[in-house]
């Protein structure tokens, strides 16, 4: 589920508010989006993929993390390289090559 909006990375572009297919975000104070309806999050990771400044983090569980869990802390997410890791894996962003260019389904085992 969506867990973190890193306010000091956010440029207030509203892209996450627009692209979220389940309408999780609202525009908050100063233009920084807030996670208004976390329970609606379907853990599709697409807000993260579209965020141009890697300011969002979606944790793997489909239920909210415990308050104070490490992955709710931006410093932890930056230190571990998790913040922005999906966008990088997709090859989205300036200077990157879309990973789709290299997406070749591996042959599945026959037995």
Partner 1 sequence: MSSRRSLDGPDPTPPRRARRRQPGPDHVLQADVLVAGGGPAGTWAAIAAARSGAAVVLVDKGRCGTSGATAAAGTGVWYVEPDPVARERAMASREALGGYLADRRWMARVLDETYARVGDLAEPPRYPFPVDETGRQRRTGLQGPDYMRRQRIRVQRLGVRILDHSPLLELLVDGDGAVVGGRGVDRRSGEEYEVRAGAVVLATGGCAFQSKTLGCDVDTGDGALLAVEVGAQLSGMEFSNAYAIAPSFTSVTKTAYYSFGTFYRSDGSVLEGARSQGGRSVIARALLQEPVLCRLDKADEATQRAIRLDQPNFLLPFDRQGINPFTDLFPITLVLEGTVRGTGGVRVLDDDCSAGVPGLYVAGDTATRELICGGFTGGGSHNAAWAISSGSWAGRAAAVHGVRHAPAGRPPGRPAGAAGLRPGGSSGLDARAVVAAVQAEVMPYEKNYLRHGSRLTPALAALDAVWAEVRGHLRGDGADRFRAREAAAMAGHARWMYTAALARTESRGMHKRLDHPAADPRQHHRLTVSGLDAIHVQPENDRPSARSVAPDAAGQVTDAVA
Q: Which residues bind to partner 1, rule: CB under 8 A?
A: 18-23, 26, 40, 42-46, 49-50, 59-63, 71, 82, 85-86, 89-90, 92, 98-106, 108-109
Let me know: does 16 contact 33? Beta carbons within 8 Å: yes
How would you class 58 by CB atoms within 10 Å of its CB: exposed for 0-12, middle for 13-18, buried for 19 or more?
buried
Residue 11 or 39: which CB sits closer to partner 1?
Answer: 39
Residue 7 or 50: which CB sits closer to partner 1?
Answer: 50
Residue 68 or 81: which CB sits closer to partner 1?
Answer: 81
**CB 37 to partner 1: min, Å:** 10
**CB 10 to partner 1: min, Å:** 19
| Longest CA pairwise span in the chain (Å) | 57
Distance CA 3, CA 74 (A): 10
Give the Cβ contact number of residue 78 at 10 Å.
15
**CB 74 to partner 1: min, Å:** 15
Closest of 23, 17, 63, 66 to residue 43, by C-alpha: 63
**CB 7 to partner 1: min, Å:** 21
């Amino acid at each position: 589920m969506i867990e973190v909006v890193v306010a000091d990375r956010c440029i207030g572009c509203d892209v996450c508010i627009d692209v979220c297919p389940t309408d999780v975000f609202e525009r908050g104070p100063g233009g920084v989006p807030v996670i208004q309806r976390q329970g609606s999050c379907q853990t599709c990771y697409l807000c993260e993929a579209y965020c141009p400044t890697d300011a969002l983090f979606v944790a793997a569980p489909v239920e909210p993390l415990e308050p104070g869990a490490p992955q709710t802390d931006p410093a932890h997410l930056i230190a571990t390289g998790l913040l922005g890791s999906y966008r990088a894996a997709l090859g989205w962003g300036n200077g990157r090559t879309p990973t789709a260019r290299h997406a070749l389904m591996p042959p599945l085992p026959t037995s």
